[in-house]
Amino acid sequence: MRIDVHGHQIEVTDALRNYTTEKMERLARHFDHPLDVRTQLSIDKPNHCAEGHVTVSGKVLHADASAPTMYAAIDGLVDKLDRILMKHKEKMVDHHRGDSLSRSDTIA
């Protein structure tokens, strides 16, 4: 899993980078293949904002969160990305199962 953490008009400290990386590791449990995660941290006064892009199987999933502190914004972002990845995984599984009824069964 590759995690990039960038700051938009702020300096990303080692503490913020380590916290973000530690929290984003939670996303790897959904898929066996590696994910690419790009996180951007910024400040829109008075809130702190965190945006994330996850690339999985050719699709880019996006989420953003804002909160009074940067750590709370990162937590909110990880929660949103976790829900989006679970929903994406369910769509993939349902799509590959196909219909259990054949077309002739529905006409009768």
Residue 74 makes CB contacts below 8 A (sequence gap 6+) with 16, 19, 20, 23, 39, 41, 50, 65
pLDDT on residue 7: 94
Q: Which token pair is 50?
A: 């965190």
Distance in angstroms (rounded) separating the CA atoms of residues 5 and 12: 8
Domain boundaries, the chain: 2-107
pLDDT on residue 39: 95
The neighbouring-strand residues paired with 92 are: none
Fold type of domain 2-107: Double Stranded RNA Binding Domain (3.30.160)
pTM assigned to the model: 0.81
pLDDT on residue 68: 96
Q: Which token pair is 93?
A: 């599984």
Q: pLDDT, tens digit, for every residue of 33-91?
A: 778 899 999 999 899 999 999 988 778 999 999 999 999 999 999 999 999 988 888 88
Distance in angstroms (rounded) separating the CA atoms of residues 3 and 58: 17
pLDDT tier for residue 106 given thresholds of 50, 70 and 90: low
